[in-house]
């Protein structure tokens, strides 16, 4: 991958003028570093309402008045890494759990009964408990119940992604956490400390036949403006080199977690986050954008129709959470509403909650 993320740090965002922002807002949606830099600059905060209007118009034009709903299914909280901000840190003294395939299917049956047809499998990094064979077995069993199966796990090898694609897994999300190499090194310990290998994962999955790959930075680790530029550069490279694969964005802000006493390096405000959403939308008109239950109900509701196209609902962030397990959660959620309550909130905004927007038969 030929992206110089360090070069992006040298862009003087403070020097960007209001006139430069206005010029970019008058142009059609398309990506360039100069455009994204203008839209994420401090000067652009004075144009948030204009950005919101343009982002809404573009999102509705490309996606209609719909919000797709999905649910995460956590299958293990065992992890060999010691990331300082994460509740799954291997050094914390908390209850660990790994679901058998049968136990995972019991949780999945509950989600299917709630109406979900898009599911995201999540696990900590410990190959003794969760490996490619486990995920492929689970994928084979889930494919009859769900239209789309994604994973959010540690980076895999090409043959492992290929095995999962054959088993019906069609999407992956992997947060780089931060694109700042120096800060990344300070925060991570264990196999995850390999910055370059993690960065390669989306390319490897796309080569292996994944239909969707998802990008994200963990907001709060460093400057959100730099992370936005890095996300844009990464997405543009993937879209150019793997045009058959859909690239999406997630916007996870750091949340409190068990036994984690991490002093957030950068506070990311609501205004910061919405500027990030609008800036990326006005550069990537066709990108799916996710917002999880990390965020408060009112904040999530206010972003309906303004750029976000997919939301989780009724989420449990611990293995077996849907069947009542008390195992460790990865983080505390902020939106505790049921899936039906989230669906009604979407409808109250004049949008349609969509439980299924894809079928594997489309690709055959």
**pLDDT, tens digit, for every residue of 64-107?**
999 999 999 999 999 999 998 887 888 887 788 999 999 999 99
Would you say residue 150 has pLDDT above 70?
yes
The rounded mean pLDDT for the chain is 93
- What is the band of 259 on the pLDDT scale with cuts at 50, 70, 90? low
C-alpha torsion sign, points 213, 218, 221, 222: positive
Q: Terminal CA-to-CA distance of the chain, rounded, Å?
A: 30
The predicted pLDDT at position 93 comes to 79
Task: Kindly state the DSSP code that residue 97 receives in the 8-state scheme.
Answer: -
Separation of alpha carbons 271 and 282, rounded Å = 16
| Closest to 85 in 3D by CA, of 262, 255, 333 | 262
State the Rg of the chain over Cα.
Answer: 19
Residue 132 neighbours by CB under 8 Å, 6+ apart? 156, 160, 163, 164
The predicted pLDDT at position 12 comes to 97
Homologous superfamily of domain range 49-356: Aldolase class I (3.20.20.70)
What's the predicted TM-score (pTM) here?
0.94
User: Where do the domains of the chain lie?
Assistant: 49-356
- Segment 279-298 shows an average pLDDT of 97
- What is the band of 363 on the pLDDT scale with cuts at 50, 70, 90? low
Structural element, H or E, at residue 224:
helix 224-241
Separation of alpha carbons 260 and 167, rounded Å = 36
């Amino acid at each position: 991958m030929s992206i110089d993320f360090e070069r992006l740090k040298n862009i003087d965002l403070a020097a960007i003028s209001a006139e430069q922002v206005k010029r970019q807002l008058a142009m059609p949606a398309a990506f360039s570093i100069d455009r994204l830099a203008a839209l994420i600059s401090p000067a652009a905060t004075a144009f948030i309402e204009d950005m919101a209007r343009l982002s809404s118009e573009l999102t509705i034009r490309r996606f209609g008045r719909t919000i797709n709903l999905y649910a995460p299914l956590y299958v293990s909280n065992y992890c060999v890494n010691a990331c300082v901000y994460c509740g799954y840190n291997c050094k914390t003294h908390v209850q660990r759990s790994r679901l058998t395939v049968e136990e995972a299917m019991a949780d999945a049956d509950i989600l299917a009964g709630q109406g979900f047809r898009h599911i995201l499998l999540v696990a900590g990094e410990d190959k003794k408990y969760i490996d490619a064979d486990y995920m492929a077995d689970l994928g084979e069993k889930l494919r009859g119940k769900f239209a789309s199966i994604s994973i959010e796990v540690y980076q895999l090898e090409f043959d492992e992604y290929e095995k999962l694609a054959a088993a019906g897994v069609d999407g992956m999300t992997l947060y780089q956490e931060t694109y700042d190499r120096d800060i990344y090194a300070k925060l991570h310990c264990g196999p995850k400390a390999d910055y370059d290998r993690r960065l390669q994962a989306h390319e490897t999955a796309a080569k292996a036949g994944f239909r969707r790959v998802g990008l994200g930075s963990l907001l709060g680790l460093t400057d959100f403006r730099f992370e936005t530029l890095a996300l844009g550069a990464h997405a543009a490279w993937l879209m150019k080199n793997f045009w058959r694969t859909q690239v999406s964005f997630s916007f996870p802000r750091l949340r409190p977690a068990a036994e984690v006493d991490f002093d957030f390096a950068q506070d990311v405000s609501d205004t910061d986050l919405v500027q990030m959403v609008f800036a990326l939308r006005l550069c990537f008109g066709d990108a799916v954008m996710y917002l999880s239950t990390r965020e408060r109900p009112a904040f999530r509701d206010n972003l309906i129709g303004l750029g976000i196209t997919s939301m989780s609902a009724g989420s449990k962030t611990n293995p077996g959470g849907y069947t009542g397990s008390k195992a460790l959660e990865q983080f505390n959620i902020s939106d505790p509403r049921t899936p039906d309550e989230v669906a009604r909130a979407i409808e109250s905004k004049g949008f349609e909650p969509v439980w299924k927007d894809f079928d594997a038969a489309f690709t055959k």
